[in-house]
């Protein structure tokens, strides 16, 4: 058979198939055709030699902001996803009911990255950095949100609400109730942003249903999932037991190494790893999803687990586990070919704490529906720890 692309001799890690081994991957018509120990590359249009490289399902970033030019924090989609190893991105509330049609026409339908979205319960979405989108609770209209989401069922995967006091004032519980009400109508999850809320974490987490998503799970901004004594709060354990998904959502202000270390020491690991990459963190401390995953390698997760948390796990979290985050035959050919570099890497969290890691995932080539996208740059210079003697 004549394939469009064969990726040869790479180490394939596909948690959706419990696969970790040397395999060839054959692609034709934009889909995965075969993942086998040997695929003939005779008469193939394009061969990618992946010896010494990792061949992963296209990475899925569950939390990004790409409503460029409208949402104040948004960045260009493809430059910071496909060019950095992520083939599917989920915008976390940049658009609300008032702006979703434009987001669809001018971004989602134009970019190469598969782009899905959580619709903000605030009609304005995220327009401004200084005026919170839910300080005036009139923006949270359940009927408008439901109507807008129903017009775009192929791209809307849930409802987003940010609960920080500077964004929502004292309206956090009201806003959350309305987001859940809209999500109930749509049979979709809510994604909530925690940290700096006026109400206790117990009240907030207590409202969540199985399948709802908490992003910024390891925020250092109280109230969070770790109490003053350093223990995971019972409400977080109870929510996780109900099936609530705890996502990373690193961001510029929402990930603390100390919180993650304390939680993970108690067995509270993230259910998904996302970057929350946007204009205020893309030049650090986040950079991209691959760097965020590398931080979790440093925190002790295995390579296979880190891959799962950014492929099959987020795909399942948005109800699309059969569509992406997998290299199964018949799936769209979204593939991240990456290198696991070794050295000394300077990882910084949101409060500015630094950890020196010794492994860094970097993209080599990314395929989206079988088409090649080459990374725009290597490791950011600020990650390279030239001054490190010993930690």
pLDDT digits (tens, 9 = 90+) for 100-141: 999 999 999 999 999 999 999 999 999 999 999 999 999 999
Count of domains in the chain?
2
Q: Indicate if 40 and 70 belong to the same structural domain.
A: no
Where in the sequence is the domain holding 174, given as residue range(s)?
Answer: 59-317
Q: Indicate if 228 and 307 belong to the same structural domain.
A: yes
Contact 210, 244 (CB under 8 A): yes
Four-residue CA torsion sign, 291, 296, 302, 307: negative
pLDDT at 386 over 70: no
Task: Write out pLDDT tens, residues 314-328.
Answer: 999 999 999 999 999
Q: How confident is the model at residue 1 (pLDDT cuts 50, 70, 90)?
A: confident
Q: Indicate if 246 and 353 belong to the same structural domain.
A: no
pLDDT of residue 42: 85
- Whichever domain contains 245, its CATH number is 3.20.20.140
Rounded-to-integer distance, Cα 39 and Cα 362, Å: 26
Q: Indicate if 335 and 245 belong to the same structural domain.
A: no
Question: Is residue 175, in this structure, part of any structural domain at all?
Answer: yes
pLDDT at 369 over 90: yes
230-251 core/surface letters (b: 16 or more CB in 10 A; e: else): eebbebbbebbeeebbbbbbbb
Question: Is residue 25, in this structure, part of any structural domain at all?
Answer: yes
Spatial CA neighbour of 309 closest among 322, 294, 323: 294
- Residue whose entry in the numeric block shows the structure tokens 């950890």: 355
Rounded-to-integer distance, Cα 157 and Cα 170, Å: 27
Rounded-to-integer distance, Cα 40 and Cα 63, Å: 38
Average pLDDT over the chain, rounded to whole? 96
Q: Indicate if 202 and 310 belong to the same structural domain.
A: yes
Q: Indicate if 46 and 63 belong to the same structural domain.
A: no
pLDDT of residue 354: 97
Q: At what angle do helices 142-151 and 172-186 cross, to 10 degrees?
A: 40
- 10 Å Cβ neighbour count for 386? 7
pLDDT at 214 over 50: yes
The fraction of the chain above a pLDDT of 70, given in percent, is: 98
Task: Write out pLDDT tens, residues 223-273.
Answer: 999 999 999 999 999 999 999 999 999 999 999 999 999 999 999 999 999
Rounded-to-integer distance, Cα 337 and Cα 85, Å: 8
The fraction of the chain above a pLDDT of 90, given in percent, is: 94
Q: What is the mean pLDDT of residues 80-100?
A: 97
Q: Indicate if 45 and 65 belong to the same structural domain.
A: no
Task: Write out pLDDT tens, residues 28-45.
Answer: 999 999 999 999 988 899
Rounded-to-integer distance, Cα 214 and Cα 317, Å: 11
pLDDT of residue 387: 63
Structure tokens at 179: 């987001």
Q: How confident is the model at residue 391 (pLDDT cuts 50, 70, 90)?
A: very low
Q: Which residue has the higher pLDDT, 378 or 304?
A: 304
Task: Write out pLDDT tens, residues 342-354.
Answer: 999 999 999 999 9
Residues 6+ apart with CB under 8 A from 362: 290, 338, 339, 341, 375, 378, 379
Q: Indicate if 248 and 297 belong to the same structural domain.
A: yes
pLDDT of residue 389: 45
Dihedrals phi, psi of 307, to nearest 5 degrees: -65, -45
Question: Is residue 359, in this structure, part of any structural domain at all?
Answer: yes
Gyration radius of the chain's alpha carbons: 20
pLDDT of residue 272: 98
Rounded-to-integer distance, Cα 193 and Cα 190, Å: 10
Q: How confident is the model at residue 377 (pLDDT cuts 50, 70, 90)?
A: confident
pLDDT of residue 151: 98
Q: Indicate if 132 and 191 belong to the same structural domain.
A: yes
Q: Across-strand partners of 363? A: 338
Q: Indicate if 52 and 67 belong to the same structural domain.
A: no
Q: Indicate if 275 and 288 belong to the same structural domain.
A: yes
Sheet of 86-96, strands arranged across: 59-64, 86-96, 114-120, 156-162, 190-193, 213-215, 245-246
- 10 Å Cβ neighbour count for 390? 5
369 backbone φψ class: left, alpha, beta (φ>0; ψ -120 to 50)? left
pLDDT at 388 over 80: no
pLDDT of residue 379: 86
pLDDT of residue 376: 84
pLDDT at 183 over 70: yes
Q: What is the mean pLDDT of residues 350-374?
A: 97
Question: Is residue 322, in this structure, part of any structural domain at all?
Answer: no
Contact 95, 71 (CB under 8 A): yes
pLDDT at 221 over 90: yes
Spatial CA neighbour of 217 closest among 188, 191, 238, 243: 191
């Amino acid at each position: 058979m004549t394939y469009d692309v064969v990726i040869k001799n790479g180490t394939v890690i596909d948690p959706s198939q419990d696969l970790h081994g040397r395999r060839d991957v054959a692609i034709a018509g934009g889909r995965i055709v075969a993942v086998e120990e040997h695929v003939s590359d005779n008469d193939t249009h394009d061969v990618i030699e992946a010896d010494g490289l990792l061949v992963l399902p296209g990475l899925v970033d569950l939390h990004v902001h790409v409503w460029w030019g409208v949402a104040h924090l948004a960045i260009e989609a493809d430059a910071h996803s496909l060019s950095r190893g992520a083939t599917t991105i989920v915008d976390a509330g940049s658009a609300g009911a008032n702006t979703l049609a434009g987001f669809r026409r001018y971004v989602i339908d134009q970019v190469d990255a598969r782009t899905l979205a959580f619709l903000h319960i605030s009609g304005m979405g995220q327009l401004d950095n200084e005026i919170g989108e839910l300080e005036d609770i009139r923006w949270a209209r359940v009927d408008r949100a439901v109507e807008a989401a129903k017009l775009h069922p192929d791209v809307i995967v849930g409802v987003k609400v940010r609960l920080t006091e500077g964004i929502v004032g004292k309206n956090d519980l009201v806003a959350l109730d309305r987001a859940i009400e809209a999500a109930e109508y749509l049979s979709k999850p809510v994604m909530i942003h925690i940290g700096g809320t006026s109400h206790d974490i117990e009240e907030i987490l207590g409202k969540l249903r199985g399948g709802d998503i908490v992003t910024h799970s390891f925020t250092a901004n109280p109230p969070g999932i770790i109490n003053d004594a350093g223990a995971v709060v019972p409400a977080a354990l109870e929510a996780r037991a109900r099936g609530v998904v705890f996502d990373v959502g690193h961001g510029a202000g929402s990930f603390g190494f100390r919180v993650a270390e304390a939680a993970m020491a108690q067995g509270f690991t993230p259910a998904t790893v996302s970057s929350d990459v946007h204009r205020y963190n893309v030049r650090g401390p986040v950079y991209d999803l691959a760097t965020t995953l590398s931080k979790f390698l440093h925190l002790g997760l295995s390579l296979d687990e880190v891959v799962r948390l950014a492929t099959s796990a987020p795909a399942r979290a948005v109800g699309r586990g059969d569509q992406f985050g997998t290299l199964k035959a018949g799936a769209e050919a979204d593939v991240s070919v990456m290198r696991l570099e070794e050295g000394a890497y300077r990882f910084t969290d949101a409060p500015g704490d630094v950890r020196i890691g010794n492994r860094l995932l970097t993209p080599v080539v990314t395929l989206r529906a079988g088409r090649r996208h080459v990374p725009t740059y290597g490791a950011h210079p600020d990650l390279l720890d030239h001054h490190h003697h010993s930690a």
